[in-house]
C-alpha cells in the first residue's frame, strides 16, 4: 500500500536513542520519567539500573535513583517483563501488574517431584500476600511465613540454586510480584527485603486488563517501535499467538507501518523520526544492552561484524557507536576511582575517542567517582 508510512532501520534506531535519552541525556526529568520512557528498567543488578537511569537523565546520580525508590516511592522495584527484576513507575504499577498477569503462564519445565500444582501455587501466593501485609521480610523470614501458612512441602529443598538448593515455594516468588502481591523493600544491611506494594500505594490493586494491555503495548512501542507482535512477545516472554491477538484487539489504537519493507506497528500517529541519524558513543551497563536488543532490533543489525561473535553471546556491558554495538567494556571501583576498560571492535576516530572520554566521565559522575579510562581487551566474562 502506497500510503503506509515507511521506516529504515537507521530511523528506528534514531527513534530509540532519542526516546531512551541516549541521543543526549534528557534535561529536567526525574528518575521515574526515565523508567517510564524505557518501559521499565532491568534491575537484576541494582548498580547497573542506577547507571542506566543516570546516563539518560542530565545531572542524575545513583543517589537520585535511590531517592526515587526509597524516599519518594515514585519508582517500585519488583518483577516485571520476562519475570525478571525491574524498576517500574509506581503510579503505573496497577497497569503493569494487570498486563503481566494476563500473559499466559508457560508450562513448568521442572520435574514432577519439584514443581508445584496450580493449587499449591495459589496457596503460596496467598501466604506471601498475608505474610507481607504491613511487613518488610528477608527471604528467610518470608520463607518461614510461607511454610508455616502452607505446610512442610513448601520448604522442601528441591530447587537448584547458585550455592545450594532453594525451597519449593520459591517457584512462585516472581509470580507473586507480577500479580502485585510483593515488591522489594530497602535492603536490611546486605539482605534483600520484600514487602507489599499496599504499604506505599494505599488502595493498590491491578487495573482492568484490556486498559492495562493497551498501556503496556503503547509503552513498549513508544520505547522500541516500530515493532511486531512477535518481538513484543519476545520482550515480554509471552506466546507469539497471544501477542498477535493482543495487537489485533488494539487495532483502533495502533497503526501499521513498514520497516525495510517488513510490516510493523506503532501507536496511532506516532510517526516522528529524529532529524539526525543515530550518532554518538555510549556505554551501556549490564542488562541495559540486553534490553536494548531484546526490545526490537534483529541481532544482525544491532551486532554487526565482530560484535556478533564477541558480544552477542554473553551479557556484557556494551559500547554503542551510532546506535549499534561496536565493542564492550568493564569497570572496577577502587576507592574514589572508577577504572574503565573499553574494548572497541571497530576503529574509533579522534572525534569518537573524545566522545568516549566524555561518556566515561558521565559514567563516573553517575557513580560518584573519578574516571580512569583505558582502551584494551576486556578479560572479564559476561554477567550471569
Same domain, 294 and 341: yes
Same domain, 285 and 370: yes
CA proximity to 273, closest of 85, 4, 1, 13: 13
Same domain, 192 and 235: no
32: in domain: no
CA 268 and chain centroid, separation: 25
The predicted structure's pLDDT at residue 2? 61
| Residues 6 or more apart in contact with residue 296 via CB below 8 angstroms | 12, 16, 224, 225, 227, 231, 235
Helix 240-249 to helix 209-224 angle, to the nearest 10 degrees?
100
pLDDT band at 130 (very low <50, low <70, confident <90, very high): very high
Decide if 25 contacts 281 (C-beta within 8 A).
no
pLDDT one-digit tens code per residue, 284-296: 999 887 677 776 6
Average pLDDT over every residue of 231-255 = 96
Quote the number of domains for the chain: 3
pLDDT one-digit tens code per residue, 136-158: 999 999 999 999 999 999 999 99
Q: Does a cis peptide bond (omega within 30 degrees of 0) precede residue 226?
A: yes
Q: Which three cell numbers stand for residue 63?
A: 543517589
Domain boundary among 200, 220, 253: 200
Same domain, 320 and 253: no
Same domain, 294 and 371: yes
Domain with residue 322: its CATH number is 3.40.630
pLDDT over 60 (residue 1): no
Same domain, 347 and 368: yes
> How far is 282 from 354, CA to CA, in rounded Å?
12
Domain with residue 251: its CATH number is 1.10.10
217: in domain: yes
Q: Round the average pLDDT of the chain to a whole number and report it.
A: 93
H/E run at residue 256? strand 254-259
Domain ranges, residue 213: 207-267
> How far is 104 from 93, CA to CA, in rounded Å?
19
pLDDT one-digit tens code per residue, 265-274: 999 999 999 9
Decide if 127 contacts 182 (C-beta within 8 A).
no
Amino acid at each position: 500500500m502506497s500510503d503506509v508510512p515507511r521506516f529504515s532501520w537507521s530511523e528506528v534506531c534514531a527513534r530509540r536513542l532519542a526516546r531512551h535519552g541516549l541521543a543526549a541525556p534528557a534535561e529536567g526529568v526525574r528518575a521515574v520519567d526515565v523508567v517510564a520512557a524505557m518501559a521499565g528498567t532491568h534491575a537484576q543488578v541494582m548498580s547497573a539500573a542506577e547507571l542506566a537511569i543516570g546516563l539518560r537523565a542530565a545531572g542524575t546520580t545513583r543517589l537520585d535513583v535511590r531517592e526515587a525508590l526509597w524516599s519518594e516511592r515514585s519508582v517500585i522495584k519488583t518483577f516485571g517483563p520476562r519475570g525478571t527484576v525491574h524498576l517500574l513507575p509506581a503510579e503505573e504499577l496497577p497497569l503493569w501488574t494487570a498486563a503481566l498477569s494476563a500473559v499466559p503462564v508457560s508450562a513448568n519445565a521442572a520435574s514432577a517431584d519439584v514443581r508445584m500444582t496450580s493449587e499449591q501455587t495459589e496457596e503460596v501466593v496467598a501466604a506471601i500476600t498475608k505474610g507481607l501485609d504491613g511487613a518488610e521480610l528477608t527471604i528467610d523470614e518470608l520463607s518461614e511465613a510461607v511454610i508455616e501458612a502452607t505446610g512442610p512441602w513448601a520448604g522442601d529443598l528441591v530447587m537448584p540454586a547458585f550455592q545450594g538448593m532453594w525451597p519449593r515455594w520459591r517457584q512462585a516468588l516472581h509470580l507473586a510480584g507480577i500479580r502485585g502481591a510483593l515488591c522489594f523493600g530497602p535492603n536490611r544491611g546486605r539482605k534483600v527485603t520484600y514487602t507489599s506494594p499496599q504499604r506505599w500505594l494505599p488502595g493498590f490493586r491491578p487495573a482492568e486488563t484490556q486498559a492495562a494491555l493497551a498501556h503496556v503495548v503503547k509503552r513498549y512501542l513508544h520505547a522500541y517501535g516500530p515493532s511486531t507482535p512477535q518481538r513484543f512477545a519476545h520482550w515480554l516472554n509471552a506466546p507469539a499467538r497471544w501477542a498477535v491477538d493482543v495487537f489485533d484487539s488494539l487495532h483502533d489504537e495502533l497503526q501499521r507501518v513498514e520497516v525495510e519493507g517488513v510490516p510493523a506497528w506503532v501507536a496511532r500517529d506516532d510517526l516522528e523520526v529524529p532529524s539526525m541519524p543515530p550518532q554518538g558513543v555510549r556505554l551501556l551497563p549490564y542488562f541495559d544492552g540486553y534490553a536494548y536488543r531484546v526490545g526490537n532490533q534483529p541481532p544482525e543489525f544491532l551486532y554487526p561484524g565482530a560484535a556478533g561473535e564477541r558480544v552477542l553471546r554473553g551479557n556484557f556491558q556494551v559500547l554503542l557507536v551510532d546506535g549499534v554495538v561496536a565493542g564492550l567494556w568493564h569497570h572496577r571501583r577502587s576507592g574514589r576511582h572508577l577504572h574503565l576498560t573499553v574494548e572497541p571492535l571497530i576503529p574509533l576516530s579522534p572525534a569518537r575517542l573524545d566522545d568516549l572520554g566524555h561518556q566515561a566521565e558521565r559514567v563516573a559522575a553517575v557513580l560518584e567517582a573519578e574516571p580512569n579510562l583505558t582502551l584494551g581487551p576486556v578479560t572479564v566474562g559476561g554477567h550471569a
